[in-house]
Amino acid sequence: MSRLTIYADDAPGTPDTRTEDPQQIAAELSRIGVRFERWDSPVDADANAAPDAVLAAYRPYLDALMGTAKAGSADVITLTPDHPQVDALRQKFLSEHIHTEDEIRFFVQGAGNFIMHVDGQVWDAHCTAGDLISVPANTPHWFDAGPQPRFTALRVFTDQSGWVPHYTGQPIHERFPAS
Question: Quick one: CATH architecture of 3-160?
Answer: Sandwich (2.60)
Residue 96's pLDDT is what?
A: 95
The tens digit of pLDDT for each residue in 146-161 reads 999 999 999 888 766 6
The tens digit of pLDDT for each residue in 51-65 reads 899 988 888 888 887
Q: Three-state secondary structure along the chain?
A: CCEEEEEECCCCCCEEEEECCHHHHHHHHHCCCCEEEECCCCCCCCCCCCHHHHHHHHHHHHHHHHHHHCCCEEEEEEECCCCCCHHHHHHHHHCCEECCCCEEEEEEEEEEEEEEEECCEEEEEEEECCEEEEECCCCCEEEECCCCCCEEEEEEECCCCCCCCEECCCCHHHCCCCC
Residue 176's pLDDT is what?
A: 84
pLDDT at 50 over 80: yes
Confidence band for 120, pLDDT divided at 50, 70 and 90: very high
Strand pairing category for 15-19 and 131-135: unpaired
Q: Taken in order 7, 8, 9, 10, is the CA torsion positive or negative?
A: negative
Model pTM score: 0.92
Distance, in Å, from the CA atom of 71 to the CA atom of 112, rounded to the nearest integer, reads 23
Neighbours of 17 (CB within 10 A): 13
Distance, in Å, from the CA atom of 42 to the CA atom of 44, rounded to the nearest integer, reads 6
Closest C-alpha to 18, from 7, 4, 28, 8: 4
The tens digit of pLDDT for each residue in 55-98 reads 888 888 888 877 766 667 888 999 999 999 999 988 889 999 99
